[in-house]
Amino acid sequence: MQNKLHAILKQYWGYDSFRSLQEEIMLSVLDGKDSLALLPTGGGKSLCFQIPALAKEGICIVVSPLIALMKDQVENLNRRGIKAIAITSGLRKKEIDILLDNCIYGKVKFLYVSPERLKHDLFIERFKRMNVNLIAIDEAHCVSQWGYDFRPPYLEIKKLKEYHPNVPFLALTATATKEVVKDIQIQLGFKKKNVYKKSFYRSNLQYVVLKEEDTLSAMLRVVKNVKGSGIVYVRTRRDTMEIARILTSQRISATHYHAGLSIEERSKKQKDWQGNKTRIIVSTNAFGMGIDKPDVRFVVNLGAPDSLEAYFQEAGRAGRDERKAYGVLIVTDKDKLDLSERINRQFPSKETIKKVYYAICNHLRIAIGAGLELQASIDYAEIGKSFGLKPIEVASSFPFLERAGYFSISDPINNSSSLKFLIDGKNLYNFQLRQKKYDPIIQLLLRTYGGLFDGAIRIKEKDIALRLKTSNNEVRKLLHELHELEVLEYNQVTNLPILTFLQPRIEQKNIRISPDIYENRKNLAIKKMNAAVDYAFNNTTCRNVTLLTYFDDETAKDCGKCDVCLANKKAIDLTDNEFEILEKRIIEVLKVKNYTPRDLIEQLRKNNSKEEILSVLKWMLENECLKIDSLNVIRIL
C-alpha cells in the first residue's frame, strides 16, 4: 500500500516523497482507524485525506466550514483530473439531487459539504447508499466546545457513524490545545485515542511584536521594508476600507475584504490577490481559512488578538513556500483594555440574556407555549431599538440561548431569493385572468423556472427584471404583493441571521443558562485573553517558545530571530553575525575536546569577553545545542 500512496503522490502532485507524519497518518486511516492529525498551517493536511481516498474504491466525504475553502480545494482537485464536487447553499434542490446521484452512481471521489448539510434528510438518505471510504473533518477544532471557533452543527458529524460504522474519521487542524485535542476525539466518537502531532515550529517564520502608539506608521514600515505579497488583519469592516485606502494613497497595491461584501466581490478580490494582481489584502478574520497561496511574505495584525489559536493560524498563512516570512503583531497599551472590554461584550449578564429572549419572542409575537420550529430572520438593531437593548447585547446573547437549546442561529440559508406557488395550475390560470397586472411576471416565472409547484426554487430578481424590462425594486414589489395575496411564497434574500425555535416559548423566569454554557466559557475566554496579552506584552520570553508552549509542544526552544531573541543578543553588544561566529567557534573547540565552562572561556578569551561567551553559552544550553554532564563538562549534543 505504501508504494501505491507514493505512486498517487507522484502521478497527481508530482512529488517524490511525503512530508513528516503524512504517510503515517494515511496508513492509519487506511487501516480503518479514527485519527486526529495536528499539522501546522501549510503542513499539507489536505493530502492526508486526498491520497488515501484515491488509494481505495469509493468516495471521501469532506466536512468543511467555509464555502470558499470548499471551492478552492474542489477546483484544485478537478485541475488535477480528480472528480470532486461541493454542495453549497446556492444550489437548487434539483441540482443537489443530480450531484448526490453522481456520488452514488458516478465517478465522484470527493464530496465537500458543510456541517449544516449533515442535518438534511436529502443528504442523509443518499449518504446511506454511497460507497464511502473515508470521512475527513477539516478545521476540526470547530468540533470542540472548547475550541476558538466552535460550531454546534459539527456535533452532527458523529451521527454519520450510524450509517457507515466501519468508515474511519480523519480529523485535521492546525491549532489545538490539550483540552481541545481530547474533546475532538470524544465529540467524534473515536473508538481509541489516536493523535498524530507534528511540531508547530516554523523555522522560516519570524515572529515580531511592535509596541508603538502610531500603529499606522509601524504598519507602513513593515509593508515598505518587506517585499512581496501580504495580509493585514484588522478588527472592523470600516478599518479594512480605511487601511486599504491609506495603502493605495502610498502607491501600494491593496484592496479590502470582509464578510459584508457580495460573493462576486469577495471572489474577485481573492483571485486578484492570489494571482498577485493585488499585492496586499486588508481583511477582518473572515479571510484566509483554506486559502492556498504559498508566497505570502508577511502577515500583519493590527491590535492584540482574542486568542493565540486565532493569531497562530492567521500569522501561519505567511511563508507556506518555506521561504523567509514574517508574522508581525502591532499593539498599543490600549489593547489590554480593549481585550478586557471585548470579554464583557462577549459575556453579557445572565439577566440581559433573559431579556433578549423575552424581546425576541415579543418581537416575533410568539405566545407562551407556541413557536416550535418557527423560522425568522433577526435584525439585532431593530430588536434592540424596540426593547431598549444595545445591538451588541442582542447579538452576544444569541450564542448562549443557542447552546442552551432554545433556538438555533445560522447564516442566511442562501445567497439568492426563493419562491414557490401556493395554488395549483388551474387556480393560478384563473387568477391570471382576473388579475392582468400580474400575468407577465407569472408567465415569465413559469417559462424560466421548473418545479415551482413542487417546492421552493432559487430565483434572481435582476434576471427577471432584465427580461421584463423593469427595475429590481418593481420585481420585488410584485412578488411581495403576490405573497400577500397567498398566490406564492416569496423569501427575499437577506444578510440577516436566521433563527429557528427548537422548543416552544417559555416564561422568562424559567430560562436556565448552566455554568457549562456561561461561567466555564467565560473563565476559558479570560484564560485565552491572558495568554494573548502575555504574548503581546511579555518582552523576556521568545515568541516562538510562548506560542509552542501554549499548544503543549514539547520541542519549544528559543528561535534566535524573533524580536525578543534579537533584543537579548543586542544586550550583550553582539551583532547577529558576531553571535553566529562565536557560536560556531564554541562548536569547533568542543569538537576537539570537551571543557568545563571556566576552561572553555579561557580557550575563547582571545577574541571575546567573558560576558559575551557566557551569554552565547547560556543560549546554546537552553536551546539544547550543548549539555553539561554530572562532572560539569560541556558536550555537544
Q: Does domain 2-197 have CATH number 3.40.50.880?
A: no
Strand partners, 290: none
pLDDT at 415: 56
Q: In what order do the strands lie in the sheet with 407-410?
A: 375-377, 498-501, 407-410
Rounded CA-CA distance 466/17 in Å is 54
Say if CB 553 and CB 565 are below 8 A apart: no
**Coil, strand or helix at 329:** strand
Say if CB 306 and CB 529 are below 8 A apart: yes
CATH topology of domain 417-491: Arc Repressor Mutant, subunit A (1.10.10)
Say if CB 138 and CB 62 are below 8 A apart: yes
Query: φ and ψ at 488, to 5 degrees?
Result: -145, 165
Query: φ and ψ at 458, to 5 degrees?
Result: -70, 135
Q: How far is CA 480 from CA 21, 420, 626, in A?
A: 57, 12, 77
Q: Which grid cell is 55?
A: 488509494
CATH class of 205-339+525-550: alpha beta
The residue behind cell 482507524 is 33
Neighbours of 530 (CB within 10 A): 11
Domain boundaries, the chain: 2-197, 205-339+525-550, 348-413+496-517, 417-491, 572-636
Rounded CA-CA distance 558/431 in Å is 78
Say if CB 273 and CB 1 are below 8 A apart: no
Q: Determine the CATH number of domain 572-636.
A: 1.10.10
CATH topology match: 348-413+496-517 vs 572-636: yes
Say if CB 532 and CB 307 are below 8 A apart: yes
CATH class of 348-413+496-517: mainly alpha
Q: Which grid cell is 617?
A: 553559552
pLDDT at 125: 93
State the 10-residue block means of pLDDT for the chain, 637 residues long. 92 92 95 94 87 96 84 90 87 83 93 88 93 95 81 86 96 90 95 91 94 94 96 95 96 92 84 95 82 90 92 92 95 93 93 95 93 85 90 91 85 68 93 94 92 85 91 91 92 77 92 92 92 92 93 85 84 77 92 89 85 84 83 87
Rounded CA-CA distance 448/438 in Å is 16
Rounded CA-CA distance 176/445 in Å is 50
Rounded CA-CA distance 227/276 in Å is 12
Neighbours of 585 (CB within 10 A): 16
